[in-house]
Amino acid sequence: MKRWLKWSLPLLALLVLGFGVQRALVARKAEQALATPVAVDRGALELASSDLIVVRPLELTRTLAVSGGLKAVNSAIVKAKVAAEVKALSVREGDAVKAGQVIGQLDTTELDWRVRQAEQTAASSRAQLDIAKRALVNNRALVAQGFISPTGLETSISNEASAQATYEAAAAAVEIARKGRADALLVAPIAGIVSQRLAQPGERVAVDAKLVEIVDLSRIELEAAVAPEDVAEVQVGQPVALSVDGLAQTALGAVVRINPSTQAGTRAVMVYIALQHHPALRQGLFAKGSIALQRKTALVVPASTVRVDQAKPYVLAVIDGKVVQRAVGVGARGDAVFDGRRESAIEIASGVSDGMSLLRATTGPVRDGTPVKVTGSTVPASTASPTTAG
């Protein structure tokens, strides 16, 4: 009895162990079956209607990219015309001023004394002139009577002329001193808005020291540097669309001037673009956009639709429900409006026809001959038997 138990217990243990291993294997296979994706026959490549672009004649605008800072056409800097202390300055940044408006005052104490000094000098010169005139009159009478020689008369004439010149110089000095005193009154030369206040009351300023800067925002221009090889196509009057920092909508303008000289160093030519008035435009804002060089109607597609990863440019067309690779000839580049959005575009000179559907770049690489199915739309029937353009 004990011998039978001795052999049955190990056998039972082996059976239990084998049963456990079998259950573990079954469970593992079940997990692998759940983790392994079910093979699905995808069939045709499904595309959304937004993945296709239908070739249509559109207006292609050849453009030239430009950028730069905005600048007010009219601006002025009020400077100190005399050396004096700033007595008052009534405007600050953002204040609107009118042409001729008094915006400040320099101290006139020294200037008043200079005027008085000049007036006293002029009065003294006037007195000397009167003496010289009386002496001349007396000497002429004495010459007529023979009491003095003609030489003495000539001396009196010279003295009178010298006194006259001295008086006139003194009178001019008075006017200069009075003008200096008048220049102490600070007046806005143009209408606009104060952009900078560069001095404070109590501060002594030198001649030509900058005090206030005023800009007129009613006329804003963009100064754009254009490369020499591109400036030949730029002409006055060409329309411009700009994106300005802080401005939601596109700012419109036109080329108004072209500098006849190049910039030293860069050899670039400055082109001046006048923008339509907008209250949000400010001097110094950065703007970038494009000049419309030429407009024409042609078969165009988004530039990204034309693929260039092979020796010749090509497009992927959808014909009879399949992707067909077609070599194309390209023409001018520019901008065009596709589905209400302006995109970079390229003219297709040959290889496609009006109404043909092409795959956009969003679809990625797709092999030639791949069957496709467009969800939510149908491929135009004209793509079934295309007539190559060009």
> What DSSP line would sit under 231-256, residue for residue?
HTT--TT-EEEEEETT-SSPEEEEEE
Q: Decide if pLDDT at 386 tops 70.
A: no
On whether the CB atoms of residues 348 and 330 are closer than 8 A, the answer is: yes
Per-residue burial over 139-168, b if 16 or more Cβ lie within 10 Å, else e, is: beeebeeeebeeeebeebeebbeebeebbe
Q: Say if 152 falls within a structural domain.
A: yes
On whether the CB atoms of residues 303 and 333 are closer than 8 A, the answer is: yes
pLDDT of the residue at 197: 95
Residues 274 and 376 both lie in one domain? yes
Q: Say if 195 falls within a structural domain.
A: no
Mean pLDDT over 21-48 rounds to: 63
pLDDT of the residue at 236: 94
Q: Say if 284 falls within a structural domain.
A: yes
pLDDT of the residue at 98: 95
- pLDDT confidence band for 294 (50 / 70 / 90): confident
- pLDDT confidence band for 287 (50 / 70 / 90): very high
* Range in 5-14, 94-103, 176-185, 300-309 the model is least confident about: 5-14
Q: CATH number for the domain including 243?
A: 2.40.30.170
Mean pLDDT over 274-287 rounds to: 91
Record the tokens describing residue 353, joined without a space: 């026809």
pLDDT of the residue at 81: 93
* Range in 12-16, 136-140, 214-218 the model is least confident about: 12-16
Q: Decide if pLDDT at 95 tops 90.
A: yes
pLDDT of the residue at 36: 45
- pLDDT confidence band for 379 (50 / 70 / 90): very low
Q: Say if 357 falls within a structural domain.
A: yes
| Among 195, 194, 193, 198, residue whose Cα is nearest residue 210 | 198
Residues 138 and 54 both lie in one domain? no
pLDDT of the residue at 204: 94
DSSP string, 343-369: EEEEEEEES--TT-EEE-GGG----TT
Residues 231 and 375 both lie in one domain? yes
- Domain that residue 171 falls in: 109-180
* Residues 220-264: tens digit of each pLDDT: 999 999 998 888 889 999 999 899 988 888 899 999 999 999 988
* Range in 7-11, 49-53, 145-149, 285-289 the model is least confident about: 7-11
Q: Decide if pLDDT at 32 tops 70.
A: no
Residues 232 and 372 both lie in one domain? yes
Residues 155 and 251 both lie in one domain? no
Domain-ending residue, one of 117, 148, 180: 180
Q: Say if 21 falls within a structural domain.
A: no
pLDDT of the residue at 93: 94
Mean pLDDT over 319-342 rounds to: 86
250 vs 23 pLDDT, higher one = 250
205: β partners: 84
In this structure, the number of other CB atoms found within 10 A of the CB of residue 279 comes to 6
Instruction: Output 134-138 pairs: Cβ under 8 A, ≥24 positions apart.
Output: 135/159, 135/160, 136/160
Residues 355 and 239 both lie in one domain? yes
pLDDT of the residue at 79: 95
Q: Say if 16 falls within a structural domain.
A: no
Residues 167 and 231 both lie in one domain? no
* Residues 66-84: tens digit of each pLDDT: 999 999 999 999 999 999 9
Mean pLDDT over 137-145 rounds to: 79
Residues 273 and 374 both lie in one domain? yes
Domain-ending residue, one of 164, 180, 196: 180
Residue found under tokens 């959808």: 318
- pLDDT confidence band for 3 (50 / 70 / 90): low
pLDDT of the residue at 191: 95
Residues 267 and 326 both lie in one domain? yes
Q: Decide if pLDDT at 25 tops 50.
A: yes
Residues 175 and 282 both lie in one domain? no
* Range in 52-56, 139-143, 301-305 the model is least confident about: 139-143
The total number of structural domains that make up the chain: 2
Q: CATH number for the domain including 134?
A: 1.10.287.470
For the whole model, what pTM was predicted?
0.60
Residue 285 burial (10 A CB sphere; 0-12, 13-18, 19+): middle
Q: Say if 267 falls within a structural domain.
A: yes
Residues 382 and 233 both lie in one domain? yes
Q: Decide if pLDDT at 4 tops 60.
A: no
Domain-ending residue, one of 152, 180, 208: 180
Residues 307 and 169 both lie in one domain? no
Q: Say if 96 falls within a structural domain.
A: no
